[in-house]
């Protein structure tokens, strides 16, 4: 089970970090507070 958790964690890190990089490219910030596109 621990191996599967590890693989899922690795996949999550890869996707999450690439999302962060993509957000940073468009918004020039990696802060969670600045990501408020869904808020009016």
Partner 1 sequence: MNHVSTALLQALSDTGKTSTGEAVLFWCLAPIMVLAGIGLLVVKKAVHAALLVITIMISLAILYIAQGAVFLGMVQVVVYTGAVMMLFLFVLMLVGVDGSDSLVETIRGQRWIALLAGIGLACVLVGVVLKAVYSPQGFTAVAVDNNPQGIAQILFGHYVFAFEVVGALLVTAALGALVLTHRQRLTPRVGQKERADARVAAGAILTPLPAPGVYARHNAMDVPALGPDGQPLDISVPRVLRIRGQEADAQEFAARIDRVLAGGSAGRGQAVRQHPGELRDGCDGGQPVSLSTISCWRRFLFSLGATTVLLRRNAIIVFMGVELMLNATNLTLVTFARIHGDLTGQ
Residues in contact with partner 1, total (CB under 8 A)?
31
- Least CB distance to partner 1 at residue 40 (A): 16
* Residue-level length of the chain: 40
In order of 2, 5, 32, the CA distances from 36 in angstroms are 35, 30, 8
Question: Comparing C-alpha atoms, which of 17, 13, 37 is closest to residue 27?
Answer: 37
User: Closest CB to partner 1 among 2 and 38?
Assistant: 2
Applying the rule CB under 8 A, the residues between 6 and 25 that interact with partner 1 are 6-25
Residues of the shown chain interacting with partner 1 in the complex, contacts defined by CB under 8 A:
1-25, 29-33, 35
């Amino acid at each position: 089970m621990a191996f599967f958790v590890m693989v899922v964690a690795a996949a999550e890190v890869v996707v999450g970090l690439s999302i962060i990089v993509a957000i940073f490219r468009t918004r020039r910030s990696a802060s969670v507070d600045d990501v408020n596109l869904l808020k009016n």
